[in-house]
Every structure is written in C-alpha cells, then in structure tokens.
Amino acid sequence: NAVIFQVRPQADALYPSALEPWSYYLTGEQGKAPEPFYDPLQFWIEAAHARGLELHAWLNPYRAHHTVGGEITDSSIVRQKPELALELANGMWWLDPTLQGTQDQSHDVVMDIVRRYDVDGIHFDDYFYPYPSYNNGQDFPDSLSWRAYQSEGGGLSRDDWRRQAVNQFIQRVYQSIKAEKPQVKFGLSPFGIWRPNYPPSIKGFDQYGQLYADARLWLNEGWIDYWTPQLYWPINQIPQSFPVLLGWWKQENTHGRHLWPGMSIGRIKGEKGADEVINQIMVTRGMIPEAPGHAHWSIGVLQRNDSLLQAIAQGPYRKAALAPPSPWLDQALPPAPEVDMNMEMQEDQLMARVFLTEPGQAFRWVAYFRHGGEWDYHIINSGEPSTLIPLFKVKPGVLPKEKPAELPAPEAVYEPLAELYVTAVSRSGNEGLPTAITLPAFAFDLAPPVASLFPEPKPEPMEATGPKLPKPKVRLGVEVLLSEQLDLIRGKRVGLITNASAVDGQLRSTIDLLAEAPGVELAALFGPEHGVRGAREGRIQQEGEPDPRTGVPVYSLYGDGYAPKKEWLDKIDVLLFDIQGVGAAWYTFKYTMSYAMEACARAGIPFVVLDRPNPLGGEVVEGPYLNLASIFRHRLPLRHGMTYGELARMWNETEGFGADLTVVPMKGWKRSMLWDDTGLFWVMPSPNMGTFETAVVYPGQCLFERTNLSEGRGTAKPFLLTGAPWIDAEKAADDLNGRNLPGVAFRPAYFIPNIESTRANPRNKPWNELCGGVEIMLTDPAAYRSVSTALHIFDAYRKAGSGVLQWAPPEVIRRLEEPGVTVEEVVEACQKEIEGFLETRERFLIYR
C-alpha cells in the first residue's frame, strides 16, 4: 500500500527542478528533459493515489555522481558546485556532508518536493558517507574541510565531527518537513546493524564507525516517522539474525514510531526464498502487532519472480490492507462518508454497487459487509470510488464435490447480504465513523441458479501431437501459446520468424504446429541467417519461395536488409518470433528480432516472442561489450545472461520502439538452469552450433574469428578446437592446465580446418593447413567462464608459438598486449565495463 520511488539518484531529478538537472537515468543524458515532456514524479503520485497507494519520494542526500550515471555534464553538481564534491577512488563523486553548502543543497531539494508535490513521504536509505570499498578502503577525502574546522577551534574528533554533520542534517530535514506539511512522513532505511555486538550476538559492518550514521540516535530522538532498517539476512543466520536485529531495533523505538523492517527478497533463490520471505513477514507481524508492516527490496525481484509473487499474494497478502495510522502526526477523524447503492448484473450474478456520492477529502474508504455470520471488507480507492459486493454468498461446506442428481434449494445454499457499512480513511490513516446502508430483504430467486455452481468441464487444451519423448522440465513459449494463449493468434493471419531450432519438447517444428493449429492461418515465414529450415550458411536470397512442407511463402531477413518490408507485413495481422538462442552477443538472431519488432511498431502490428531458455543460464554475465556494425545494432556483453523475451522487453523500452509486444513466457525455467538441466533435446540453431558444449564456449571463443588463428570451423568441433600452424600444442596445453581454470581441461590437438579454398580469407586464416592448438574439454559447464578462458588461451598461444597473433578484439581486451597486464586484470576491466548493463537489465528479467 505504499511505493518508495527514487527521484534523486545522483544530485539530479526525475521531475522538473530549478535546483538540479534532469536525471541521466530518465533520458540517458543528464540535464536533458524527456521528450515528449512529462513529469514522472507527478505521474507516479497521481497513479499511486488513484490505486490507494502512498507515494514516498526517495532521495540520495550525498551522492553527486555514480560510475554508471553517464558522463559528467556541465549541469552536474560536480561542475556547478565543485567546492562541494569529492572524487572517490572508484570514480564516484560524493558531496562533503560537513559543508553547509551540501546540507543546504540537499535540504532545499527535499523541501522543494514537499512544497510542490502531494507526496506522502520523504525517504533516505543507507547512503550517508560512502561505504569504504567505494574509496578502496581509504579514508573519506575531506581533509580541506577538516582542517578548516580545526582552524576555527572545533574540538570534536574527526569521526564525531562527521557524525554531527549527518545528525544535524537529519534533524533539520525532519523539523522542516513538519513545519511545512506535518502529515508528510519522513522515513529512513539505514544499514540493518547499528554497531557490532548490539545486541551481543550480532557481527558485521559498523555503520556508526564507517558511514558515520548514528541511526540509533535518530530513532531515539524521534526524528523520523517510520524506520525501515535493512534487515537483509535470513532468520537463522546467527551473526545477523533477522528477528534478533528486529527485536533490538524495537527496544530502541522509544517514541513508538512505525518500525517496518526492510527485506531483501532476491538473496535466497527458489522455494526456500519464498518461505523465508513469508516467515519474515509473519515474524514481523508477531513481534510488532501494533504497527505491522515491512518494505521489500526491490520491486524488480517481485516482477520477475512469479512463484514468490503468488506465494505472498495467496498467503500473507491475500487481503488488502490499510496503511497504519500515525497518531503523532494527526488524530483527526474524517467525517462519515455519503454513499449510495444500486444493483448490477455482473457475469450472471446480481451485485450491490456501493459508490461514494461525495468523495470529499478522504484518501480511501472501506466497505464492511456481512453474509450470515461472516464479515468481510473491500477497500475503495479514489481512482474508482465504488465497489461491487455479491448479494448472495455460498455457505461454507454445503456443496458436494460432484453435481447431485437433485439440486438443493437456494435457501440451503446461499447466505444473503445482511449488513453493510462504509467508513472513510484520512491521509494519516485515521478511520472515521461508519455510514450504514439500509438493505432490503433479498428474495432467494435473485440468487444465481444452484446449477451454475457446477459448471460443465472445460475441454482439454490443444496438445501438440508427435513422438512420445521424455517430458522436459521446461514448457517452451510455443507450448504455452498453443495450450493456454491461442487467442493471441486465433482468427488471424500469422507471420513467423523462425528456423530449425524452433521445436517443442516432442521435437515438432513450430512451423508445423502453427500450420495445424485450429483457427490459425499461417500466412508467412521469415528466415533469419541460415534460413527457415536452417540448411543455408551465410546470406540467403529468397523472397516468396514456398516452404516445402507447408507451402507457406518464405521471406529472407538476411539479404538486402534485416527488417521485414512493409509489403510483407501487409499480408499478416500478427508477427511471432521463435528461435533458440545461445546466450552470446555474436549470434544474429536476436538482432533480427529487434529489427522486426521495430518494423512492427511502425506498421502497428502486434509482435509476439515465444520465449526459450538461455542455454547458458541467466545468472552469469560476462563482458566486455561486443561492438560491431551491420546487423549487430545493440551493445551487449559477450555473454548476456538473458532470454530473447527479456531482450525484447528491454530493447522495446530502452530503444523507444513502442511495439505492441507480448512475451509468452516459459514455464519451469529458472535462471540457474543450463541447457542440460531443462530436459530438452539440443537442436542445432546454426550449422556450426552442433552441441550444447559448443554453445558454452562460444561467447569467448568467437573472439578467435577476428584473428589469424583457426576457430575450428571446418572441423567436427568448431570453437572447441583452436590453433594455428605455428603453435606448439603440447606446450600450450601444459601451460593452460597449469592455470587451473574452472570447469575445463585442455587436450593438445592437431587438426586441419577443411574450408573451400575459393572462399575469401581476409584474415589469412590457416585453412587446409595442419594446425596445433588445444581442444577444450568441459568438466563443469556451470563453473566455466568463456571470456576468461578464451583470454587465457590467447595468452598461452602467444607464449607457445613462433608466429605473430593478428587480431581485432574489443578495446578493453587489447590491453593484454601491454607489458605486465594480466588476464585477470583484463577480465576485471571487462566486467567493470558492463556495470551499466547489469543495472539496466534487472528491470526486464522475467524469471527468477
């Protein structure tokens, strides 16, 4: 019932401000307003209030610039007020909390929001002084202001001087908010541990000593309205136990403020994670019954974790709840509401429509009603100030499981609506006196027919036929479409972008399944690189040729252009995409998807992605970025860790396509799953991707394509074999095996890449020559790191060969050529390069 919305990530604004520039995180450029113009904060406030949600503006009081916050522009506070900002070792910039200018700037930003916007709260999290790792463990670089303080006769220690500055700021913000708008809450979510040994069993980080945040003081002094310590640890993690820390904070809450612990809901995976979240919710309700509540970090985890969402929605969140009142802010009760009622027929059932005739100043309303001896309630929001209540409710335990030969009378089955009251709830959470609605005596002939309580069984959903193979653990997007979401395409002319890899769990082609689906007209097929049936290597030139099995016309998306032409799209009503990816930036299929999605957006045609597993799982991402032209239109890490459905969601928003996009998700797939965990058969998505093992090594090994080495094409094991005539295979294998790389062993190998000599060879690869090198022998695909391993192979080849390596790697990898630079340093730089991608992709992940 409340949203905490970040509006100031780095001394910038997700709203129009005269004090600070527009945020980089909104438009991709700090200082640039959104086009077309809108006010995100105002939009969120209106949308939240219409749904009965509070909206709290979340600000970072001291961060001036983040390493993933784009370029430092002239509008940045780093340039506008350089006397306030200090650079940290990791590249971040931080405002000096002790400077009056810093305190005034952040205070004025808070108060500007409070005065101009109808927010319900102001929120700070745990970022006061920076965590030590941000400055490589060195002390915060405030020597100038410290010496100035000393020269003015300051007598505090340096630590106490820093804490005093933060304390004064917190107190000032709280008092200013209350002077301007007393009803606006001020909340904090500090690090969950005040100091180690408080209470005695607790170990861990010392925010008092290292962030200079005396969080206990702020709570003890009552300078906040709600307290959300970040208790991001499990119940049974003894050194940081959730209930032990919650109990300690409760005893420090001497002013009786709201204590709503913060929970990290993404740290524990699977069913155990859902159990932990539910247990923490119930522990909180039991320990703090006077003000039950909690905050989840973060909404992104809930969005992509359907099993967790369902577990809490059907468990502790089964009933809607009001935000608890804050009696120290306001005790005034709203007047009893003016309400009326009429009757409506909804889905063959007569309902009572209760509506507010004069909504007035109330924030929400509650309708309490009774059928027989059972009371229930509905919360009514301002966005739709009415609610529907059934006139009749089935008595518990009276219906048999099977339809009886003789149906019971309605009087024996139903309880009529007997009492109905409505109350108003103020912005401060205070609930007023009820208004009673006079109800007539409802005749039982108005109740739904008893026979309607025993619906006829629904026909079984359409199942794809074919050879009976072992049932996989994962249901693919195409299978979910055919069995549950066929209405997306029924009665429509369907286009399909696909290739030979698109089969269901019984190895039936998506082309054939759609061609046989009832009520579906498969009108056009679109082929990516290698063609629809996957038999062609390289560019294909075919336009309107019939598919040999179905007769459906085929159009190439890897010829003169990569997007479907308008005249092709005119032949269809909806375009589907179903191709198996390999989890690497090099593969062209996902870019074909992007071009097609953009074309559909322009043509006003819905675009549907039938999702498939990322064979490499969805947890590991390996940089650097792939920067190529031509079809490779988006920057992606070499191993991106996303499904095609997730990529489509991301590009549709970040590239501004605005397509009518639907992703039909898989069922049963988890981010921890590699291909071998799915129970699915591997079908080659391209001519040189014959095995899952090839896919595992491909993101890094494809770097060999842009060299004068053989990447193994023209052999039975492309990408698993690499080498050149001038490499000593035994020496290279011994070197690599001595490095103890995770998930892999190396075999010295000699091979001849059989390639047609008439083909162009711009990189002078050793075609049709005897090559020495290594074969990758995977021992643990989950532990294997493709980019790191590839760089180690390059390094070993340079030391084990007499020739000269010619290559064109991404710039960050070229650092390997510098004297003294290690593979580990380059890998670290590769990962640092993609930090922005890791942050962006979180919003678009579908699976847990």
The tens digit of pLDDT for each residue in 336-392 reads 999 999 988 887 788 999 998 877 778 999 999 999 999 999 999 988 889 999 999
Is the same domain home to 712 and 659? no
The tens digit of pLDDT for each residue in 537-576 reads 444 445 668 888 888 999 989 877 789 999 999 999 999 9
Name the nearest CA neighbour of 785 among 620, 562, 547, 591. Answer: 620
Dist CA 440 CA 419 (whole Å): 10
Query: How many domains is the chain built from?
Result: 4
Angle of the 158-180 helix axis to the 143-151 helix axis, nearest 10 = 90
- For residue 537, the model assigns a pLDDT of 46
pLDDT above 70 for 812: yes
Is the same domain home to 348 and 287? no
Question: How many helices (DSSP H) and strands (DSSP E) are in the chain?
Answer: 23, 31
- Mean predicted confidence (pLDDT) in 63-76: 93
Is the same domain home to 506 and 610? yes
The CATH number for 754's domain is: 3.90.1150.140
- For residue 442, the model assigns a pLDDT of 87
Beta strands in 516-665 (DSSP E): 521-527, 543-546, 553-556, 574-578, 607-610, 622-626, 636-639, 661-664
Is the same domain home to 445 and 481? no
Dist CA 566 CA 699 (whole Å): 34
Is residue 618 assigned to a domain? yes
Is residue 461 assigned to a domain? no
The tokens for 11 are 């001394």
Q: Could you please report the per-residue DSSP string of 754-767?
A: ---TTS--TT---T
Dist CA 180 CA 749 (whole Å): 76
The tokens for 541 are 């030139």
What proportion of the chain, given as a percentage, has pLDDT over 70?
96
pLDDT above 90 for 169: yes
Is residue 682 assigned to a domain? no
Is residue 332 assigned to a domain? no
Is the same domain home to 669 and 704? no
- For residue 463, the model assigns a pLDDT of 53
What proportion of the chain, given as a percentage, has pLDDT over 90?
77
- For residue 630, the model assigns a pLDDT of 60
The CATH number for 389's domain is: 2.60.40.10
Is the same domain home to 46 and 183? yes
Instruction: List all residues 6 or more positions away from 756 whose beta carbon is below 8 Å from its beta carbon.
Output: none
- For residue 457, the model assigns a pLDDT of 64
The tens digit of pLDDT for each residue in 8-43 reads 999 999 999 999 999 999 999 999 999 999 999 999
The CATH number for 166's domain is: 3.20.20.80
Is residue 571 assigned to a domain? yes
**Which residues form the domain of 666?**
477-677
489: Cα separation from own chain's centroid: 28
- For residue 535, the model assigns a pLDDT of 52
- Mean predicted confidence (pLDDT) in 47-65: 96
- For residue 218, the model assigns a pLDDT of 98
Name the nearest CA neighbour of 64 among 98, 88, 40. Answer: 88
- Mean predicted confidence (pLDDT) in 700-719: 95
Question: What is the pLDDT of the chain when averaged over all its residues?
Answer: 92
Is the same domain home to 665 and 534? yes
Is residue 589 assigned to a domain? yes
Is residue 684 assigned to a domain? no
pLDDT above 90 for 609: yes
Instruction: List all residues 6 or more positions away from 316 whose beta carbon is below 8 Å from its beta carbon.
Output: 278, 281, 282, 285
Is the same domain home to 485 and 618? yes
The CATH number for 506's domain is: 3.40.50.12170
- For residue 466, the model assigns a pLDDT of 54
The residue among 269, 299, 314 that closes a domain is: 314
Angle of the 786-800 helix axis to the 692-701 helix axis, nearest 10 = 70
Is the same domain home to 632 and 716? no
- For residue 548, the model assigns a pLDDT of 83
- For residue 736, the model assigns a pLDDT of 97
- For residue 233, the model assigns a pLDDT of 93
Is the same domain home to 572 and 616? yes
- 391-395 own/partner pairs: CB under 8 Å, 24+ apart: 391/343, 391/349, 391/350, 391/351, 391/352, 391/416, 391/417, 391/442, 391/446, 391/447, 392/349, 392/350, 392/416, 392/417, 392/442, 392/444, 392/446, 392/447, 392/448, 393/417, 394/453
End-to-end CA distance of the chain: 24
pLDDT above 70 for 530: yes
- For residue 257, the model assigns a pLDDT of 96
Name the nearest CA neighbour of 308 among 285, 263, 278, 283. Answer: 278
Which of 331-345, 532-546, 684-698 is predicted least confidently? 532-546
pLDDT above 90 for 810: no
Residue with tokens 């945020």: 23
Decide: 352 and 417 in contact? Cβ < 8 Å. yes
- Mean predicted confidence (pLDDT) in 454-480: 74
Strand-pairing partners, residue 355, are 340, 386
The model carries a pTM of 0.60
Is residue 765 assigned to a domain? yes
- For residue 307, the model assigns a pLDDT of 76
- For residue 301, the model assigns a pLDDT of 74
Is the same domain home to 673 and 696? no
Is the same domain home to 171 and 267? yes
- For residue 385, the model assigns a pLDDT of 87
677: Cα separation from own chain's centroid: 23
Which of 148-162, 291-305, 784-798 is predicted least confidently? 291-305
